[in-house]
Chains A and B, each alone.
Chain A
Amino acid sequence: MTRAGIRVTQAGIPVRGAADYQKNMDERWPTLNFMFVGDIKKTVSISDANAIRNSNGFTTAAAIPIFEHNLGFAPAFIVKFKQDYPSWDAPVIIADEKYIYVQLMSYLASTAVVDLFLAVSSRNCLETYKNTDISLPPNVTSKPTPYGLRVLRKGSMRSKEKDDYSLNTNAKSMVLHSHGVKAVNAASSYELKIIHDLGYPPTYYIAKVEYYDDPSFLVPIYYKQLTTPLNNYIYSVGRSNASTLTIQGVQATIEGNFMYIIFKDPVDTAR
C-alpha cells in the first residue's frame, strides 16, 4: 500500500491520525456510488413481462422491467414506495444484470402503477471486497468551516445543498469497508457472520440474493442471480464486537444467500 495518495477529511479533522470514517475521500477505499437516484412512475402491464410463470393454471407471476441499468451484474439498490404498503403486501422488486423488475401476480391484477424512489449502486457488491487498512478513531469531532474542498457534481459552487457535491469537507460521505455474499443455513447456525476487525460495531446494509431455478419460469430472468432491495424487511438483529458482526433473525431464523455491505462507520458514536 502506497503512502502517497489523496486523503480528504471532514472539516476540523487533521488528516494525520484521522479515523477512516472521518474521511470523505481516501484513494485506498471506495464509496458506495449510485448510477441512478430518482423517481420511477409508470403503469405496467403483465403483457410487458420479460418472464412469466404459469403454475398449474392458477398463478401467473410476471417480471416487468421498470428500469434498465445495464450494469452487467445484479446491483445493490434502495427502494422507497410512494404508497405505504403493509410489509406483507409490498410489491416485489428484484434486479438482474440488466433491469430492475416489479413482479406482478395476475390473480391480483393485470396492470399496476409503480411509483417509487429508486437508488441503484454502480458498484458490484456481489463480489467479495474487504479493505484491511484501518485507522482507529481519535477523540476529535468534525467542525464545519468556511474553507475546504468541494467537488461539484451538478448546480453551482454557491449551492448549500450537499447533494449537489460528490465531495464536500463540510459533509460526510459513507465509505465502504467490505461487501460480498454469504450463505446462511444450518451449517452457519443460521447466522450471517462477517469478520471486519474495525474495532467498533459498524453500520451495514443487507439484502437477500435470490436464485430462481423453477423450470416453470420462462427465460430470461430465471436461472440468474437476482438481488432484492437493501434492508427490505429482513427481520434481523446485528451484534458486533471489535472484530466480528453477527446478524441473526428475530422471531424466526433467516436463511438463504445475503449480500452484505459494511461501512467504515460506528453505530454507537457520531463524529
Chain B
Amino acid sequence: MNDRYGILVADDGTSIQDKDYKYDSREQTLILDLERDPKHMQIIQTSGGTNLPTGVVGDNSEVIYTFDHNLGYTPLVDAYFYAETYGGSYTHMNTGGYGKDFYFLSGSNNWVLDYLTFKVNNKSFSIIHRTIVYATHTGYVSTAASYGIKTKAYIYSIPVDKAEYYGYLPD
C-alpha cells in the first residue's frame, strides 16, 4: 500500500488534514465479487430444514443448501437468516425475525437447541440446520419444516486462514 496516494473524503465538518475520513481508498473494506457465479451476494430461499429427531440425547444436523464459492481460500462471511413465512403464513408470530450468522427456531429451550447456521471452508458455503438434545425429555418437535427462510449470504473476498468455520458452534 502506498500511503501517499489514494482517494480521501473527509468526515463531515472536518478538514482533510484532520485525518478523519469517511472514505479512504488506502484501507481495506468489506468487499465482495459481483462477477462470480454462483453469486457471492445472494438470497437463498429454503425451508428451515426437516423436523430432525429431538427425543434422544445427541446431535443431529443436515445440510439444507450448499454452493461452491470458487475462491480457493476460506473467506470471511456474513449470513443473515430471515424468517419470512411460517406454516405458509407471512404474518405468523414466528415470522419477521432475522439473525446474523445463526437463528434459533421457535421452541428451542433448555433441553433442545434447534437452529440454523452456516458452514464455510475453502471450497463451499453451506446452510446447516442442527438440533442438539442435552437431556431426555418429551414435548418438543422441531418446527424447522414449517419455516420459509431467506438466507442472505455475503461471501467477502477476504481470506480467513482457517480450514473451516461455522457461524455458530455451541459445543
Contacts and interface: CB of A to CB of B under 8 A. Distances in A.
Contacts of A87: 168-171
Contacts of A267: 80, 82, 98, 150, 152
A162 B11 contact: no
A237 B98 contact: yes
Nearest to A123: B22
Nearest to A172: B32
Interface stretch (A47-55, A99-107, A198-206, A210-218): A198-206
Contacts of B41: 172, 270
Interface string B13-25: 0000000011111
Nearest to B97: A237
Given A11-B34, A34-B29, A237 B22 contact: no
Contacts of B96: 239
A60 interface: no
A80 B9 CA distance: 30
Interface stretch (B50-58, B123-131, B139-147, B157-165): B157-165
| Contact count band on B | 35 or more
| Contact count band on A | 35 or more
A144 interface: yes
A205 B42 contact: no
Interface in B2-54: 6-7, 9, 11, 21-35, 39, 41-43
A117 B162 contact: yes
A153 B43 CA distance: 29
A42 interface: no
A142 B28 contact: no
B108 interface: yes
Contacts of A244: none
Contacts of B154: 174, 203
Contacts of A180: none
B100 interface: yes
A35 B76 contact: no
Contacts of A34: 27-29
A197 interface: no
A116 B73 CA distance: 16
Nearest to A41: B161
B31 A162 contact: yes
Contacts of A32: 29-30
Given A172-B32, A172-B34, A201-B82, A84 B165 contact: yes
Contact of A151 (B7, B28, B32, B156): B7
A168 to B, nearest CB: 7
A84 to B, nearest CB: 6
A6 B128 CA distance: 41
B31 A236 contact: no
A250 B168 CA distance: 15
B82 A162 contact: no
A129 to B, nearest CB: 9
B28 A268 contact: no
Interface string A126-139: 00000000000000
A246 to B, nearest CB: 10
5 contacts: A29-B22, A34-B29, A80-B165, A173-B31, A270-B39
Interface of A: 6, 10-11, 25, 27, 29-35, 37, 39, 78, 80, 82, 84-88, 117, 119, 122, 142, 144, 151, 153-154, 161-163, 165-168, 170-174, 201, 203-205, 231, 233, 235-240, 250-251, 267-270
Given A29-B22, A238-B99, 8 more contacts: A32-B30, A78-B76, A82-B162, A87-B168, A87-B171, A174-B29, A250-B108, A268-B43
